[in-house]
Structure 1
Amino acid sequence: MGFLTVRDEDPQSLPGRRDVLTRALGLAAGLGGVAAIGAAAGPAAASPAKASSPAGTASVRANQTNWRFCTKCYGMFFRGYPTDGACPAGSGHDAAGYDFNLPYNVPETSTAQRNWRFCTKCYGMFYYGYPDNGRCPAGNAHAMQGYDFVLPHDIPETAGTQRNWRFCPKCYGLYYYGYPTNGRCPAGNAHGMAGYDFVLPHL
């Protein structure tokens, strides 16, 4: 699959399909028709989606694609830029397998954990729930930006999800725990494993 060269939030500055349809129908039906359509469609269709920063809470989408498995470090990284970040095994990450479609800015539950964030330095997914930000392969701690991802855990795996994604207590990254070895950790040697068994949706 190809990868995007822009962040997912950029399209939010454009009207959604429903907004375009609502406007077209309103123009055809006149002022009274606009009021009727607005009442039927509800507040979400009343105006175009507003542009927001990556960390904004207002968003059109509740999921982001282009999250991939790296065959070198076994970590989860974002493949939506022309380069592939920094891998602890050297150079950029190498993508393989599923295109993960991860939920963000939704409520945390007993089977979904928030505070998973994108690192602007390595492009990896890391846990942002501690006073420090773990270890980044690009040097020092991870740097947080963008959406607050809320990852499902400890639920049954289905045809559209994959389990065995785990938290590494050494680097705070998210990595795949389904092989005999545990990849490469930026804090040295292989990743460690702790916490929930994350079950992640993919396309």
Structure 2
Amino acid sequence: MDFLTGRNDEAQPQPGPRPRPREEPGRRAVLTRALGLATVGLGAAVTAGATATAAQASARANQADWRFCTKCYGLFFRGYSDDGRCPAGASHDSAGYNFNIPHDIPETPTAQHNWRFCTKCYGMFFWGYSDNGRCPAGAAHAAAGYDFVLPHDIPETAGSQRNWRFCPRCYGLYYYGYLTNGRCPAGNAHGMAGYDFVLPHL
């Protein structure tokens, strides 16, 4: 059968001795074969379902609307009606790429987990120490939501941007690609330490 046209183009029988008729299988053989086919079908359905579930999980494992703030140089979530609290005063001002950040996936040698959303300033900060750094809304950051997993120390591509760094003073993530280092809630400019994070964007 041709699966594109639906035509049956099988070759015509060639001259020669006719094959002997097959013997009809017994009832046990028929049942055994039917059960085998059902098991194969069930296995294929389970595999297909697992593949679909994995694909759906992969599609859900990123969150967009993370933006660069032109005032503090930090990364903040712009998915609410307001834009959080900026250490340079008032709310954050967004510009540039719409970052699409991976979350709730396994950490690897080139991807670090424990990055969280702060409910007070809307910034992204590292949640891997006993304290939670310094928040521009006062006191420490407050973690909520996803466990973000940030790629680091990999080549930049057309769909990603490097030079995002951890600030050891406020624990926030900020862009380290300018002559100055923005504004830190702990005072003055951000400090720089650790990995060179490479963030995917839309």
Q: TM-score range by the shorter chain?
A: 0.7 to 0.9
Structure 1 counterpart of 2:133: 134
Distance (whole Å) between structure 1 residues aligned to residue 47 and residue 106 of structure 2: 27
Aligned counterparts, 1:156-195, within 5 A? 156-195=155-194
Structure 2 partner of 1:200:
199
Instruction: Give the match for residue 90 of structure 2.
Output: 91
Write the distance in 1 (CA, Å) between the matches of 2:148 and 2:47.
32
Cα pair 1:133 1:142 within 8 Å, conserved: yes
8 Å CA contact 1:38–1:45 kept in 2: the answer is no
Shift of 1:39: 3.9
C-alpha displacement at 1:43, in angstroms? 3.8
Q: Supply the distance in 1 between the matched residues of 2:45 and 2:79 (Cα, whole angstroms).
A: 35
Distance in 1 (CA, whole Å) between partners of 2:112 and 2:47 is: 35
Q: Secondary structure at the match of 1:175?
A: strand
What is the letter of the counterpart of residue 144 of structure 2?
A: Q
Note closer, same or farther for the CA distance 1:91–1:38 as it changes in structure 2 (3 Å cut): same
Q: What TM-score do you get using the length of structure 2 for normalisation?
A: 0.74
Which residue matches 1:72?
A: 71
Alpha-carbon distance in structure 1 between the residues aligned to 2:134 and 2:93 = 20
Question: Which consecutive unaligned segments of at least 5 residues does structure 1 have?
Answer: 1-34, 50-57
- For residues 155-202 of structure 1, the C-alpha deviation after alignment (integer angstroms, 9 at most, x for no partner) is 011110000000000000000000000000000000000000000100
Contact 1:133 1:141 in 2 (8 A): yes
Q: CA offset at residue 37 of structure 1? A: 8.7
Paired position in structure 2 for 1:61: 60
How many aligned positions are there? 160
Q: Distance in 1 between matches of 2:47 and 2:153?
A: 39
SS for the counterpart of 1:42 is helix
Specify the alignment match of 2:49 in structure 1. 42
Provide the C-alpha distance between the structure 2 equivalents of 1:87 and 1:63, rounded to a whole number of angstroms.
24
CA RMSD, aligned part only? 2.0
Displacement of 1:59: 8.5
Structure 2 residue aligned with 1:119? 118
User: TM-score, length-normalised on structure 1?
Assistant: 0.74
SS at match of 2:171: coil
Q: Residue 45 of structure 1: CA displacement?
A: 5.3
Distance 2:110 2:52 in 1: 31
For the pair shown, the structure with the greater C-alpha radius of gyration is 2
Identical counterparts, % of pairs: 77
Q: In structure 2, what is the Cα distance between the partners aligned to 1:198 and 1:40?
A: 35
2:110 aligned with 1:103, yes or no? no
Report the Cα distance in structure 1 between the residues aligned to 2:76 and 2:47, rounded to whole angstroms.
41
State the AA in 2 paired with 1:128.
Answer: W
Deviation per CA, 1:82-115: give whole Å up to 9, x if none.
0000000011100000000000001101110000
Give how far 1:36 is off: 9.4
